Amino acid sequence: MGQQDSHVMKTLTQFILGLVAFAILIFVVAQFMTGGFYNNDQSATGEADDSAIAERIAPVAEVTEAGDTAAAGGDEVAATEQSGKDVYASACFACHGTGAAGAPKLGDKAAWSDRIAKGMDVLVGHAINGFTGDKGVMPAKGGNPALSDDAVKSAVEYIVEEGK
Ligand code: HEC
């Protein structure tokens, strides 16, 4: 091995040792943070404890909920727009995002102006109960009966806002 090679080997070895040490450190810290040592003791005695697992999973769920609440809180209008947008994305985009089945496209002002002129109540009613027009068939709730009337309404509000 030449001078250069052994230098490379040495650097590499140090680097790998460093990585291993770092991994061990992370592992130990993670064990402490998740109460892993405590739970391991329990399983060592043969008591597989579901609640211990639930405990470890719970904080993650709480963080997610807290995040959602924080996002939904504060500005009520923003929250409505957000959920309307979500409903649109999951239940309406297939047609209204692409123009499939003759659906007026999101943001196509020419296609929406006459419809918007019908008034919000009519549009929401058509979206909830279904509607057959010159262009095609708008299925009730976009073909998703699991949606609440409010969810459909917020989606219509979102679509109308984008079509103005
Ligand atoms: C399977 C395709 C399809 C899906 C999914 C769909 N739509 Fe439609 N939608 C249509 C079509 C086609 C029209 C146009 C009907 C016409 O005027 O001929 C329409 C029209 C509309 C209109 C205008 C109604 C009117 O009176 O002019 C609204 C509002 C609407 N859709 C809302 C929604 C909402 C909200 C969703 C999701 C919850 C949704 N649509 C999902 C196909 C769809």
What whole-number distance in Å separates Cα of residue 46 and Cα of residue 117? 70
Which residue among 105, 108, 109, 138 is best mutated to probe the pocket of ligand 1, counting the most ligand atoms within 8 A of its Cβ? 138
Question: pLDDT, tens digit, for every residue of 41-59?
Answer: 444 445 556 666 666 666 5
Q: What value, to the nearest 5°, has the Cα angle with vertex 76 and ends 75 and 77? A: 95
Q: Which residues of the chain have pLDDT under 50?
A: 41-45, 61-78, 80-81
pLDDT for position 1: 54
pLDDT of residue 73: 43
> Pseudo-torsion of CA 52, 54, 60, 66, nearest 10°?
-120
C-alpha of residue 92 to centroid of ligand 1, in Å: 7
**Closest C-alpha residue for ligand 1 atom 23:** 123
- Find the residues whose C-beta lies inside 6 A of ligand 1: 87, 91-92, 94-96, 101-104, 115, 118, 122-123, 126-127, 131, 133-139, 141-143, 152, 155-156, 159
Q: Are 91 and 147 in contact (CB under 8 A)?
A: yes
- DSSP type of residue 89: I
Question: Looking up tokens 């504060």, which residue turns up?
Answer: 74
pTM over 0.85: no
Rg over alpha carbons for the chain, rounded to the nearest Å, is 28
